[in-house]
Amino acid sequence: ECDVFNPVSILDTVSGLPAPAGVFSNSDHLQTVTALTAAYLKLPGKDWRTCYRTKNKAAMRQFLQDMDKDACWFQTVCDPESLANVADEISYPCIAKPREGVGSLNVRRLESAEQLQTFSAQFWQEQPGQPLLLEEFLSGPVHTLETLGDGQALVPLGGFEVTLSEPPYFVELEATWIPYEPDTPYLPEMLEQIRRLGVGFGSCHSEFVITARGPQLIEVNYRTVGDGRDFLLNQMMDQQLFKAILQIHMGQPADISAPHYAACIRYLGA
């Protein structure tokens, strides 16, 4: 037992145990410390820099902006004062979300400065000082890209076409599987974008909006897709997905082949 958010605490604990065969976590929150621990122990793992910039949505936006000046507008705010400082830069509608959030929790489309003030006040009352990412609203259908890599080859498995609830919330209602083919619209462009971000080891779930100017990256979860779709994907890969992920993290050869099935998952809300 240790502080799993602290790589020093993890290393202090592991150093008293037999040498591990691999270091792995599927937690969205623990990819950076997992990668740092694996690197120290000279075991296979992800680049911790990529883990950090994919988890920290502001760091990812800054990285993308440094590569492409036409990338999505964004700002990070931590309190009413910092929000007031960028008020003149914000165009509406905009998106507000926790900088390190997951699962679309507290993600909101906001139509006006008044809505932003109300939302941010409530958010900071519940989570004082937590950074909020404000970013340009991207209009278009949502698609995902699911990949699996061993540090050398990055295999695109395919993606989900996602149906969302009506604004201002982003509740996922349905996801339809689209197998990857070299001529599948947008998927090659999505693959190139996450390669440039540094993704290439283990499992990764990336989300895009298909805009008029092409696929725009929303966020990268450097772990397996969740919400039950991971089990669906494992079924489509003849129960080999989870096995392959663990083999990769243990430095063993893994048989990675993209599934060619039709599949759909629907979420029934109470």
Backbone Cα Rg of the chain: 19
Rounded average pLDDT per 10-residue block, the chain, 270 residues: 94 92 94 96 96 92 83 87 88 88 78 90 88 89 94 92 85 90 84 93 95 90 93 93 96 88 88
The neighbouring-strand residues paired with 136 are 94
Q: How much is the pLDDT for 235? A: 93
The rounded distance, in Å, linking the Cα atoms of 9 and 70 is 41
Q: Which domains does the chain have, with CATH numbers?
A: 73-136 (3.30.1490.20), 139-266 (3.30.470.20)
The pLDDT value recorded for residue 14 is 92
pLDDT score recorded for residue 69: 65
pLDDT for residue 230:
95
Q: In what order do the strands lie in the sheet with 264-266?
A: 214-221, 201-211, 142-150, 154-164, 172-179, 264-266
Paired residues of 206 in beta bridges: 145, 220
pLDDT digits (tens, 9 = 90+) for 143-169: 999 999 998 899 999 999 999 888 777
**Beta bridge pairs of residue 147:** 156, 204
